[in-house]
Structures are given as structure tokens and as C-alpha cells.
Chains A and B, each alone.
Chain A
Amino acid sequence: MGNMEQFLSMGGYAGFIWPAFGIVLIVMAFLWIASMRSWRKSEQALASLRQHRRQRGDIEE
């Protein structure tokens, strides 16, 4: 399709435009996934620590 070709080639500047957008999406996705993972891991660690204490009979927290 002529339009798709035009879109992908970006007036000849494709070699600049696509890598620029690409690295933005990659970095933002990476930070998002890493942050969400760290947060969820911390939620799990806290929950299991609380569970562990409850089982041991520690009431305070």
C-alpha cells in the first residue's frame, strides 16, 4: 500500500524517527514493568511477614 510505505518511510527520515519512538517506548515500558514488579513483590513480602507473625502468635504490629 502506498500509504503504508509513506508512513513507514517518514519522508526518508525513518532511520531517525522509528528508533527515537522505539527507545522511548522501550525505556518507559521497562521502568513500568520493573516498578510494578518491585511493588508487588514488596506487597507479598509484607503480607507473608504479617502472616508469619500471626501464626507465631504475635499480636502487635
Chain B
Amino acid sequence: MSIHYFANPARFTRLAGRIQPWAGGLTAVLLLIGLYMALVEAPADYQQGDTVRIMFVHVPAAWMAMFCYTFLAVASAVALIWRHPLADLAAKASAPIGASFTFLALVTGSIWGKPMWGTWWVWDARLTSVLILFFLYLGYMALWEAIEDGQKAGKAAAVLALVGAVNVPIIKFSVDWWNTLHQPASVLRMDGPAIHSSMLWPLLIMALAFKAYFVTLLLARMRMELNLRRIRAMRLAERTS
């Protein structure tokens, strides 16, 4: 089973140590390019004017919110089914990143909605399900903190993650299944992107920047969790010897 190749913590640490700086550098470069394109180069929209620029942070944040949760849920399933030693660490490490992006998606969406829709918030299916996603992240992180035993905490958190996973397709298809104020998808749709290339490129660059950011922080947080696990094990061994 190839995922067990990375089960060796030492091997993971070595690989992570090599990749992390590159991912960090890539994040910085892509963010600079993306922000320049979003704020300076991209044209104003025929309908929304300059507020369309908020899309260049709102949409990548929303994509990352869902991607991180999918990652977290898959890692949780791997932890529960294959008992992969690093899987629950990966899930735990990704949670704060996903929660932050969900928060940003909600806040930037609200800021965008006020001038364009005329309101800061509505309880339509899209916005409500993303808010639920935010609470799922918080609940997931709380479980890890609340339960003393690391193994038990990981199991409980993994179960919550899988229960909440049903929310991800609901978020994606909410604009199709129900009447919503939030508009349908502009990029990932059957007929191809409904965004002009002059706006699609800044969006994709920013999305890549956020991805690289996720990889960088995921590796750093996983290494931290691994270190904490080792420290705990050493202290435990000291006490019992």
C-alpha cells in the first residue's frame, strides 16, 4: 500500500523539510503576482464594476474551504480504516487552515454582497451551508482539545469529520438544488467558465497561491504535531522508567 511509504515519520520529516521552503517561496511569488493582477491589471466588470475584484479573494477562499474539508475528511477516513499513523495528524493540522479560509469566504462574501445584492447576509442554502461548514471546523478542533486521550480524541474527531462530509456536496450543489440569492457556479460548470479570460487568470493564480499556502502551512503544522507527539512519548517514557 503506497500510502504506508509515508508512514515512517522520519521519512516524512525529511521530505517535508525539503518541500516546505519551496512551497513557501512559491506562495509568496504567486500571491504577489495574483494580487497585482487582481487589483491593477484585471478590468472592471460590465455589471459589478470594481467590486468584482473581491471575487479574486472570495472565490479562492471558498474553494480552499471546501478543499481543506475534503482533505480533512479523507485523512480521517484513512486514519479510521487504514490506521495510517500520520493520517490523523494531517487532518488535525489542516483544520485551522480550512477554518480560516471558511471565515474569509464568509466575510469577503458579506462585504461583496452589501453593495451588489443590497444586504450583508441572507439565509439562503449556499450561505447557510458554508456557515455550517465553519461550525464543523470549530467543532472538529474543539474535539481534539476537549478529549484528554490523544487516540480517543483523534477517533472522535474523525467521526465528526466524516459525518460533516455530507455538507460538501450540499454546498457545491446548493445553488442548483434550491432557489438561492447566491448565483450559480461561474467556473466549474458543464458549459465551461462563464468568466472572461482577463478575469479568469487572476482568479486561477490566486487559487494556486492559496493552494501553495495550504501546502506550506500543512507541512509546518504536521511537523509540529509530530514533534509534540515525540515529546509527549519521551516524557511518558521518562516518567515510567
Contacts and interface: CB of A to CB of B under 8 A. Distances in A.
Per the CB under 8 Å rule, do A and B touch in the complex?
A: yes
**Dominant SS at the A interface?**
helix
B8 to A, nearest CB: 16
A21 B103 contact: no
- Interface size on A, as a range, is 20 to 34
A13 B227 contact: no
Given A20-B111, A27-B103, A13 B50 contact: yes
B44 interface: yes
A13 B51 contact: yes
A36 B54 contact: no
Contacts, number: 87
A11 B234 contact: no
Interface string B46-57: 000111011001
Contact of A19 (B61, B97, B111): B111
Interface in B94-152: 96-97, 100, 103-104, 107-108, 111-112, 114-115
B39 interface: yes
B104 A11 contact: no
A10 B53 contact: yes
Interface string B140-180: 00000000000000000000000000000000000000000
Contacts of A35: 96, 217, 220-221, 224
A1 interface: no
Contacts of A13: 49-51, 115
A59 interface: no
Given A10-B53, A11-B50, A16 B112 contact: yes
Closest 5 pairs between A and B when the two form their complex, measured CB to CB = A42-B227, A11-B50, A39-B224, A10-B50, A39-B220
26 contacts: A7-B40, A12-B50, A13-B115, A17-B50, A17-B53, A20-B58, A20-B107, A20-B108, A20-B111, A20-B112, A21-B39, A23-B104, A24-B57, A24-B108, A32-B216, A32-B217, A35-B217, A39-B223, A39-B224, A42-B223, A42-B231, A43-B223, A49-B234, A49-B235, A53-B234, A61-B234
